[in-house]
Amino acid sequence: MKRIRFVEEEIARRYDENKMRCPIHLCVGQEGVAAAVGLALRPDDLAVSGHRAHGHYLGKGGSLSAMLAEIYGKATGCARGRGGSMHLVDESVGFMGSTAIVAGTVPVGVGLAYGIKLKRTHQVSCVFLGDAATEAGVFFESVNFAVLKRLPVIFICENNLYSVCSPLRVRQPEGRRIHEMVGALGLPATAGDGNDALEVLDRVTEALAAIRAGGGPRFLEFSTYRWREHCGPSYDNDTGYRSEAEFLEWKAREPIGALASLLLSRGDLSGEQIRQMDAEIAREVNAAFAFAESSPYPDPASAYALLYAEPVSVDDGGH
Ligand SMILES: Cc1ncc(C[n+]2csc(CCOP(=O)(O)OP(=O)(O)O)c2C)c(N)n1
Ligand SMILES: [Mg+2]
């Protein structure tokens, strides 16, 4: 969680230098879900995400340096500098893609799960999505197919209450709970506190075990809150679509502080250990920025080269 928080705060601090020339959607305040899901997944599990993907990529084991180089548009980036912040992809850690099209990777993640089932590899495909993605038609088609085929896919929905500036109350009927609506499609669907990283870890660990045992897909909704504006490095509580009071309420129970207090009170971690961790992560983040800034831009002649053209052979068992 701290690694995600530190790197995003540093991205925000440096964004106005105009060297990162892509839009950025920061997940500061939402680190609990990304970190805990990443920890619960196996390294060989697969994951897809959307526009707010930094935390998901790092949680899955992605490289800080490759992520920052990607955001700086450099050849050493995880998408070779072609994608930027919203198009992180890194097969080496099973992070199979993220796109700016809301819900665009939901069918991709379900397709990956279909491949896993056909190949009988016992991996799980993890689909990260926001609350607004559950309003897209393709979301329902994809979940229906996953249920029909009992696919090994876990849907992780970060419900941060907003789609850009539109709160849930102007988008969905009063009283609707997203997980209840999704549960009606025929899969176990639950809700939990996304700012309690240990709760997320427990729920996701249990769901993954059930999926790996052949139980079919699961949908987990986690409530959380983004601190900064939808897109960009600033705060936007003065723009009128949400209140400073709401922001402060969520900030008071943010995921990192909550876990640190718990671990300190149990004696599981000392203040000195936390300071050491902070110093180590700050060093790591600074080194990753230095790597990104000093890396070369891609050769324009390579713009149309195929990056991932390996043919995949599938034993589909006659299906
Ligand atoms: C298909 C599509 N419609 C609209 C948009 C514009 N858009 C970008 S992000 C976003 C909101 C997404 O909200 P949510 O899924 O809840 O994720 P969050 O930004 O809250 O993390 C919208 C509407 C888009 N990128 N793609
Ligand atoms: Mg949202």
> If you measure from the C-alpha of residue 94 to the centroid of ligand 1, how many angstroms do you get, rounded to a whole number?
24
Confidence check: pLDDT of 306 > 70: no
- Note the pLDDT of residue 318: 47
Question: Is the pLDDT confidence value at 166 over 70?
Answer: yes
Residues 6+ apart with CB under 8 A from 9: 28
The set of protein residues with a Cβ atom below 6 angstroms from ligand 1 is 51-52, 100-102, 130-133, 160, 162-164, 230
Mutation test of ligand 1: which of 102, 227, 231 has the most ligand atoms closer than 8 Å to its C-beta?
A: 102
172 CA to centre of ligand 2 in angstroms: 13
What digits encode the pLDDT tens for the residues 116-135? 999 999 999 999 999 999 99
- Average pLDDT of the chain to the nearest whole number: 95
Angle (CA) 43 44 46, round 5°: 100
Q: Tokens 């990956």, residue?
A: 112
Give me ligand 2 centre to Cα 223, in Å: 10
User: Which residue is closest in CA terms to ligand 1's atom 23?
Assistant: 163
Angstrom CA distances, 159 to 3, 96, 131, 132, 287, stand at: 22, 22, 5, 8, 33
pLDDT band at 309 (very low <50, low <70, confident <90, very high): low
The whole-number pLDDT of residue 317 equals: 57
pLDDT surpassing 60 at residue 310: no
Nearest one of 103, 10, 90, 102 to 47, comparing CA atoms: 90
Where are the strands (E) in 40-124, listed by range?
Answer: 46-49, 95-98
The 10s digit of each residue's pLDDT in 169-209 is 999 999 999 999 999 999 999 999 999 999 999 999 999 99
Alpha carbon of 280 to ligand 1 centroid (Å): 34
Alpha-carbon span 318 to 313, nearest angstrom: 14
Does the structure show a pLDDT above 50 at 234? Answer: yes
